[in-house]
Amino acid sequence: MPQIHLHAEPGDYAPLVLLPGDPNRATLIAGMFDGGLDQVRLVNDHRLLLGYTGTYAGVPVSVQTTGMGTPSLVIIFEELLRLGATTFIRVGTSGALARGMRTGDVIIATAAAPLDGATRTFLDGEPYAPAPDFELTRRLVDTARSQGINPWVGPVASIDIFSPYHPDPAYSVKWRDRGIIAFEMEASAIFFMAARATASGNPVRAACILTASDALDEHDLPAEESYLSAEELEAAAQQITRVALEAGTSEFRAGS
């Protein structure tokens, strides 16, 4: 039967699912599948949580909107698990923190500090280090480099407040000084839920590739003033999507 939020059936989603937050970006990504939008299938539009399924290089692949933040993400992720998805790549935006980072830079996460409420609720306040699947993450790094991209690779932090709107300017500096290279809003829950599923006997892989939509160190501007334009953001989203699609589908081809 359909899930509560994803009105789809088992088999509607491919094992490999890309996870953007924005429904418009989900449509953009679906247009990059084999044959473009004319050849993909809309498998969910309930609550405008757009989900599409098609192929890329002949490999089945889906894209599913998650919304912004971990409360929405954990609902979508849980229902995708119930619908049979097993490999997840978050493709999203982030606020760059590390010195020298610039808007448009590509970031691949090696861990995600769980500063969000949903992951902390799952953990009941206990310490935990959410981390992605190593092999899938390595494929993202290798694929990015093969496409001429030199990604930043390191730990991010998942937060509940859009970083340009955080009232304390010292908050970003504090986490930068702890080695966090970017803020985003979903990765910690993705990594935790994938690890929890694997521990229960359902092997699930997850990874995360991001583009820096704003940067703490860019021209000494406030983050909102360094934010990418709509056109730049679309180009950046396409860039990281190409990496995610190549890395994700190559993993499936290698395993076939």
User: How many C-beta neighbours within 10 Å does residue 103 have?
Assistant: 22
pLDDT of 256 over the 60 cut:
no
Which domains are present in the chain?
16-255 (3.40.50.1580)
Measured CA to CA, the distance from residue 209 to residue 217 in angstroms comes to 20
Condensed to tens digits (0 to 9), the pLDDT of residues 129-167 reads: 999 999 999 999 999 999 999 999 999 999 999 888 888
Residue 120 pLDDT > 90, yes or no? yes
Local confidence band at 252 (pLDDT 50, 70, 90 cut-offs): confident
Residue 99 has a pLDDT of 93
Position 247: which residue type? Answer: A
DSSP 13: S
Sign, CA torsion 69/116/231/240 = negative
In this structure, how many other beta carbons lie within 10 angstroms of the beta carbon of residue 254? 9
Q: Tell me what pLDDT residue 225 has.
A: 57
Q: Which of 133, 89, 116 is nearest to 184 (CA)?
A: 116
State in Å, rounded, how far the first CA of the chain is from the last one: 29
41's enclosing H/E stretch is strand 41-44
Active site residues: 214
Q: What is the mean pLDDT of the chain?
A: 94
The residue type at 30: A
- For 23-63, the pLDDT digits (tens) are 999 999 999 999 999 999 999 999 999 999 999 999 999 99
